Amino acid sequence: MITLKSPKEIGYMRRSGMVTRDLLLYLEEKIRPGVSTKKLDEFAYDFITRKGAKPSFLGYAGFPASICASIDEVVVHGIPSARRLEEGMIIGIDTGAILDGWQSDAARTFLVGEVSEEKRRLVETTRESFFKGVAEFRSGGRLGDISHAIQEYNEARGYSIVRDLVGHGIGREMHEDPNVPNFGRAGHGVRLSVGMVLAIEPMVNLGTWKVETLDDGWTCVTADRKPSAHYENTVALTENGAEILTL
Ligand code: MG
C-alpha cells in the first residue's frame, strides 16, 4: 500500500533529508587516498548523531554500519572495513537518517583522486539518469515513466541496469511501497500523485547487468567484476512538482 504524505509530513522529511544531504557533503570532503571505509563510517555516525538524528542503516536487517561503502565492482551494500581508498577508485556511499521518526535515504558515487575516463563517465551518466527519472515524476504520470527514462538514458550510452535491486517508497519506513525499478515501460505502472515520496536510485554497470552477493550476505558485486555506479535521492511530489529532499 502506498502511503501519501501531507505537506506537513513532507516538511518533516525535508528536515530529515537535510541531515543526509549535509552528511554526504561532509563525507565528500573526507574522500581521499588512504582513508579507510571504516573511518568514513565513524565520521558518518558522529555526524548523524550530532544532528540529533539516528543512522537508519545501522542495525537495519542486521547491517553493521551507518553507511554502505561500495568500491568499484561493488554495486551496493558494501560493509565498511579497514580497507583504504586508493587513487583511481570509485566509491558509492549510501546512507540515511531518521529525524523525528521520518526517514531520508541518498547515495553518491565519489571519485578518489584521478579516475579513468571510463569510470568517470559511468559515474556522470548514472547521476544524469537520476535527473531524467525525476523529470518524469509528475502528477498523473505513471511509475513506468520514471523507470523507462532512467533505463533509456543509460542503455543508450552502452551501460546496463541492475535488475535485482530497485528504488522504493520512503516515509516513516525506509522501504515502503511502491518498488521503483530503474527499468520498465513508459505509460505503465501505478499512477503518480501528489504526496508520494520515492527514493529514486539508478544502479548502473559498465558491463553486464548481472550481480552476485558475496559470502558476507551483503556485498553486492557485478558478475563480471567491472565497475558499477549508484546515485540516489529522496524525492517528494508536491503541488509544485517534484522536490528533491536530499540535495
Ligand atoms: Mg534506497
Give me the pLDDT at residue 100, please: 98
C-alpha cell at 94: 549510501
Please tell me the predicted confidence (pLDDT) of residue 9: 98
Amino acid 35: pLDDT: 98
Using the mean position of ligand 1's atoms as its centre, give its distance from the Cα of residue 199 in Å.
Answer: 5
> 211 - beta bridge partners?
222
pLDDT, position 175: 98
Distance 4 CA to ligand 1 centre (A): 18
Instruction: Please tell me the predicted confidence (pLDDT) of residue 127.
Output: 98
Instruction: Tell me if 201 is assigned to a ligand binding site.
Output: yes
Helices (H), the chain: 7-30, 37-50, 117-134, 143-155
Q: Is 105 annotated as a binding residue?
A: yes
Q: How far apart are CA 51 and CA 19, in angstroms?
A: 7
Say how many Å lie between the CA of residue 225 and the centre of ligand 1.
Answer: 22
Q: How many residues would you count in the chain?
A: 247
Listed as ranges, residues in the chain with pLDDT below 70 are: none
Is 46 assigned to a binding site?
A: no
Ligand 1: distance of its center to the CA of 106 in Å? 7
100 is in an annotated binding site: no
Q: What is the pLDDT of residue 2?
A: 97
Residue 119: predicted pLDDT:
98
pLDDT (0 to 100) of residue 220: 98
Rounded to the nearest angstrom, the distance between the alpha carbon of 105 and the centre of ligand 1 is 6
Query: Is 168 within any annotated ligand binding site?
Result: yes
Q: How far apart are CA 70 and CA 61, in angstroms?
A: 18
- Model-level pTM? 0.98
Tell me how far the alpha carbon of residue 8 lies from the centroid of ligand 1, in angstroms. Answer: 22
Ligand 1 midpoint to CA 166 (Å): 8
Q: How is residue 158 written as a grid cell? A: 552502452
- In angstroms, the CA 28 to CA 18 distance is 15
Is-contact 216 68, C-beta < 8 A? no
Residue 240 CA to residue 138 CA, distance in Å, equals: 10
Quick check: helix, strand or coil at residue 70? strand
Question: How do residues 154-185 score in pLDDT, each as one tens digit?
Answer: 999 999 999 999 999 999 999 999 999 999 99
Annotate 43-87 with three-state secondary structure: HHHHHHHHCCCEECCCCHHHCCCCEEEEECCEEECCCCCCCECCC
Task: Give the DSSP per-residue string, 191-221.
Answer: BP-TT-EEEE--EEESS-S-EEE-TTS--EE
Taking a C-beta distance cutoff of 8 angstroms, is the pair 95, 57 a contact? yes
